[in-house]
């Protein structure tokens, strides 16, 4: 759970993190139905570089995840995922949690 800067709006946040593969994040089948204006995904890539680590954040509304998630299956398993190419426009989109300037005025 998280709140906006003024603590007036509450959000449920699902965090998915990658440290090795960076082109997609695994989801559960339930992500298709778990849609709400206040349910947000924080998709994180932890990329190691020669100079340290780079962290990428994609802050994505649950309705977008539900629309764009893909299903894959092979002989041994099945999975649901969201692809990086589909969520790139949400990189560092922290504004989904509200305008930080509002808290300064309340």
Q: What is the pLDDT of residues 68-85, one digit of tens each?
A: 999 999 999 999 999 999
pLDDT at 104 over 80: no
pLDDT at 106 over 90: no
**pTM of the prediction?**
0.88
Q: How much is the pLDDT for 10?
A: 94
d(CA 82, CA 16): 10
Among 71, 101, 85, which residue's Cα sits nearest to residue 6? Answer: 101
Q: How far is CA 40 from CA 28, 47, 48, 50, 95, in A?
A: 15, 22, 26, 32, 12
Q: How much is the pLDDT for 83?
A: 97
Among 3, 11, 2, which residue's Cα sits nearest to residue 62? Answer: 11
Q: What is the pLDDT of residues 6-61, one digit of tens each?
A: 888 899 999 999 998 889 999 999 999 999 999 999 999 999 888 888 999 999 99
Q: How much is the pLDDT for 105?
A: 56
């Amino acid at each position: 759970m998280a709140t906006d800067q003024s603590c007036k709006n509450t959000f449920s946040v699902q965090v998915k993190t990658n440290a090795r593969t960076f082109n997609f994040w695994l989801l559960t089948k339930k992500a298709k139905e778990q849609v709400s204006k206040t349910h947000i995904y924080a998709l994180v890539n932890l990329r190691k570089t020669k100079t340290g680590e780079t962290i990428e954040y994609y802050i994505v509304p649950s309705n977008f995840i539900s629309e764009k998630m893909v299903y894959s299956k092979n002989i041994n398993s099945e999975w649901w995922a969201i692809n990086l190419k589909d969520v790139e426009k949400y990189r560092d989109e922290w504004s989904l949690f509200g305008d930080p300037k509002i808290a300064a005025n309340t």
